[in-house]
Structures are given as C-alpha cells and as structure tokens.
Amino acid sequence: MTGVPVNDRYPLIAGETPLEPLERLTAHLGGPRIFVKRDDNTGFGLGGNKVRKLEYLAAAALAQGCDTLLTIGGTQSNHCRQTAAVAARLGMGCELILADGAFMQDHAFAQSGNVLLDRLFGATLHSIAADADRHAALAARAEAIAASGRRPYVIPSGGSSAVGALGYVRAAEELIGQVARLGLGTPLVVQTTGSGGTQAGLLLGLAAARSDMRVVAFSCGGPSSELTPKVRGLLRDTAPLVRPAVDPDAIEVVIRDEQVGEGYGLPTDAGLDAIRLLARLEGILLDPVYTSKSMAGLIALARSGEIARDAAVVFLHTGGSPALFAYESRLGVSSSTGTL
C-alpha cells in the first residue's frame, strides 16, 4: 500500500472513477487500444480532477480552523467551480478571483458555464485583468479577508500545491489496481497539464508503487520550458509527504506543447475536432480548454504511429464539460432540428 494517510483527506468522491474502453474511437483510429479514466465522474460539483485535490485541501483548511476558501483562476475555471462547491459542503465562505478572459467577449463566456455554477454555489466573485499579477491579487485579498476577522485558506491556481497533489498520489494507486484487473500490462498514460499538480501527484504515486507506466502530458497553455520546472518543483515539495520514499529528481517529466495553439483558454481546430469526435463516437464530453487539447495530442500520436497500434493507452479525463456552454460560439455545432 502506497500513498498518504486517509485521515488527511475529507472524502468527497464515492468510490473509484471508472476505467472504460473507448472501443469506437479505437476502431476509428485503427489502434492503439484506448481506455479513459473517468475523473470527469468524480461526482461532486459536476466533477473533475480538482475534487481529488480538494479532498486534501479541505482537510487542511478544517484542521487549521479556517472559515473561507480563497482561490484564483481564469473566468471559466473548473478549479474555482469545484472549490465553490466544496466550500458550500463545508459551510465555509468562498471567494474566487477570476482573471478576465479578454479573448472571449460574449455573454455566454462571461455569465454561463462555470461562472453560473460559481454563483449557484454561493461564491463571491472578484475580477482582475487577464495580465494582472495573480499571486499579488491572491495575497492582497487574503490580507483583506483576514483583516475583516475571517480566516482564509488560500488555495493556489488549480489547487496545485504539495497538499493538493496528494489527491493524484492516491489516484495513481487506484489506476494501478484498475489496470491490473483489466490486464492492460503497462499502458501509456496521456493527460493534460497546466498548473502541474495533477501530473506531479500522478508521477509520484506511480513512482511510489514502482510502476513502469509512463505519463505524457500535453500543455493546455504555456510552453514545456515553463511548465516542466513547475512540475519539478511540485514533485520536490510533495515527495516528503509520500510513502514509501521517492527520489523526485529521478522521475521522468514529459510535457509536450504542440497542441497549445494560441494559448490558454483559446480552443484549437484540432481540439474542437476532438470534442466533436468523442461526443459522436463515444457520447463523452471533452472541454475546450484542457481535455480537447490532450485528446487531440493522443489522436495525433496514434495517427503518426508514435504510439504503436497494439499498445494500450489510458486517457486521463480531467473533466471541464460545464465550460462547453461558455464556448458555444466556438464549437461550430449547427442545428439539425427538423419539422414534424
């Protein structure tokens, strides 16, 4: 048994998320054998990978006697939406700092999707410019909350701290068991990476279990030269919390950035094609910001032959489908309604 003490976790996820075959996508591509780890089905607050991190972050906030969760993200942040839901469950206040998505100037992006859910969960929203210093904004708001007599628990963007990354140390153990039960051997794991906590936790969990599974992460925003040091830092910060001991510097970190497109939050043609393909072949929803880019990367690797046709691949679905409603104008889905 590897990982972290259960007592450090506030349970929000009921059981394991499924590991399912994508048989029609596999047939469409002619291989490899593709499976999806359904962390879009974590179930709480419309699900997503951040719930795993928030189980540990919530426990830390409660242990410290905090009464307000404070975090930051983009306008359509999945992490902020899930944080707001957790705060509601805990009976805490929640304040979200949302960096203005200046690249999307329509009502749906500003008011629908995750923003609508943030408000339904009772969060207080603050807006900053897209190019503002997010760390400074977070620190200033935390100081103001404390000055008002409340006790904020500050969560970094994406929940990507050493505490948050523990969620994916635990998820790695879950995945290893599912892979073994399905007899998949040693599949390649494909995921999206941005703030780095999911990738760092997963890599540490696999290393602690002495698993040979490799992880290829596709950036949703920045270049690999910026994201790799971020993940390396989280590996080093989180490793002391993991048992058995792991040398974080011995872990391979693979981040590819060819699917980034114009930048974070900006959908790509390949990503939009992936959204439509998965919806129509498998009835599974990807999102425009994260999973569409990593699925586009997986498809490109399969078509190029970089992934062998007889290989097994696990796609880590990190959620985010509420953002689809905010990107309606970019999805290019035409009406096919007929008249009876």
Structurally, at CATH architecture level, domain 6-48+161-331 sits in 3-Layer(aba) Sandwich (3.40)
Active site residue 77: yes
DSSP 217: E
d(CA 178, CA 110): 39
Q: pLDDT band at residue 338, thresholds of 50, 70 and 90?
A: low
> Which sequence spans correspond to the domains of the chain?
6-48+161-331, 50-159
6: pLDDT strictly greater than 80: no
Structurally, at CATH architecture level, domain 50-159 sits in 3-Layer(aba) Sandwich (3.40)
Q: What is the pLDDT of residues 133-153, one digit of tens each?
A: 999 999 999 999 999 999 999
Instruction: Work out the percent of the chain whose per-residue pLDDT is above 90.
Output: 90
Q: Cα dist. 303→294, 298, 307 in Å?
A: 14, 9, 8
Check for a shared fold between 6-48+161-331 and 50-159. Answer: yes
> How many helical (H) and strand (E) elements, i.e. helices and strands, does the chain have?
12, 10
Tokens of 64: 């410290």
Q: What is the pLDDT of residues 18-41, one digit of tens each?
A: 999 999 999 999 999 999 999 999
User: What's residue 2's pLDDT?
Assistant: 56
User: What's residue 100's pLDDT?
Assistant: 79
302: pLDDT strictly greater than 90: yes
The Cβ of residue 276 has, within 10 Å, a number of other Cβ atoms equal to: 14
Amino acid letter, 318: T
DSSP 16: P
Preceding peptide of 244 cis, ω within 30°: yes
Q: pLDDT band at residue 54, thresholds of 50, 70 and 90?
A: very high
User: What's residue 1's pLDDT?
Assistant: 47
The Cβ of residue 275 has, within 10 Å, a number of other Cβ atoms equal to: 26
Q: What is the pLDDT of residues 83-103, one digit of tens each?
A: 999 999 999 999 999 997 656
3-class secondary-structure state, position 93: strand
User: What's residue 215's pLDDT?
Assistant: 98
Q: Which residues of 149-183 are buried (b: 16+ CB within 10 A; e: fewer)?
A: eeebbbbbbbbbbbbbbbbbbbbbbbbbebbeeee
Which one of the listed residues 77, 195, 211, 224 is annotated catalytic? 77
Q: Strand 19-21 to strand 33-38: parallel, antiparallel, or no bridges (unpaired)?
A: antiparallel
User: What's residue 246's pLDDT?
Assistant: 95
Amino acid letter, 43: G
Q: pTM for the whole thing?
A: 0.95
3-class secondary-structure state, position 137: helix
